[in-house]
Amino acid sequence: MAMSWHMMMEFEPPLVGCVISDRNYSFGLLNAAAECVINIPTVEIAEKVVGCGNTSGADIDKFAAFGLTPNPASRVGAALVDECYAHLECRVVDKQLVTKYCLFVLEVIEAWIDPAVISPKTIHHLGRGNFMVAGETIKLRSKMK
Amino acid sequence: MAMSWHMMMEFEPPLVGCVISDRNYSFGLLNAAAECVINIPTVEIAEKVVGCGNTSGADIDKFAAFGLTPNPASRVGAALVDECYAHLECRVVDKQLVTKYCLFVLEVIEAWIDPAVISPKTIHHLGRGNFMVAGETIKLRSKMK
Strand, helix or coil for residue A133:
strand
Out of B5, B8, B137, the one facing A8 most closely (by C-beta) is B5
Q: With a cut of 90, say whether residue A142 has pLDDT above it.
A: no
pLDDT confidence of A110, banded at 50, 70, 90? very high
Question: Chain A residues with CB inside 8 Å of B6's CB?
Answer: 7
Per-residue pLDDT reduced to its tens digit, A52-74: 999 999 999 999 999 999 999 99
pLDDT confidence of residue B60: 97
**Residues of chain A numbered 50-69 and touching chain B (CB < 8 Å):** 50, 53-54
CA distances from B49 to A120, B44, B62, B64, B122 (A): 24, 10, 10, 13, 11
Residue-wise DSSP of A33-48:
H-EEEEEE-BGGGHHH
Q: How many residues does chain B have?
A: 145
Dihedral over Cα of B126, B122, A105, A48: its sign: negative
Residue-wise DSSP of B66-128:
HT--EEE-SSSSSEEETTSSEEEEEEEEE-TTHHHH-EEEEEEEEEEE-TT-SS--BEEEEET
Picking from A3, A61, A59, the residue whose alpha carbon sits closest to that of residue A36 is: A3
Picking from B86, B103, B129, the residue whose alpha carbon sits closest to that of residue B22 is: B103
Per-residue pLDDT reduced to its tens digit, A36-56: 999 999 999 999 999 999 999
What's the one-letter identity of residue A127?
A: G
CA distances from B16 to A21, A84, A88, A138, B104 (A): 15, 27, 23, 26, 8
Query: What pTM was estimated for this model as a whole?
Result: 0.96
Q: Which helix (H) or strand (E) holds B30?
A: helix B25-33
Q: Which helix (H) or strand (E) holds A31?
A: helix A25-33
- Rounded distance, CA A143 to CA B2, Å? 12
Q: With a cut of 90, say whether residue A144 has pLDDT above it.
A: no
- CB contact under 8 Å between B126 and A137, yes or no, is yes
pLDDT confidence of A143, banded at 50, 70, 90? confident
**Residues of chain B numbered 88-127 and touching chain A (CB < 8 Å):** 94, 96-97, 100-101, 103, 105, 121-127
ipTM above 0.90, yes or no: yes
pLDDT confidence of A7, banded at 50, 70, 90? very high
Strand, helix or coil for residue A69:
coil
Residues of chain B with pLDDT under 50: none
Strand, helix or coil for residue B134:
strand
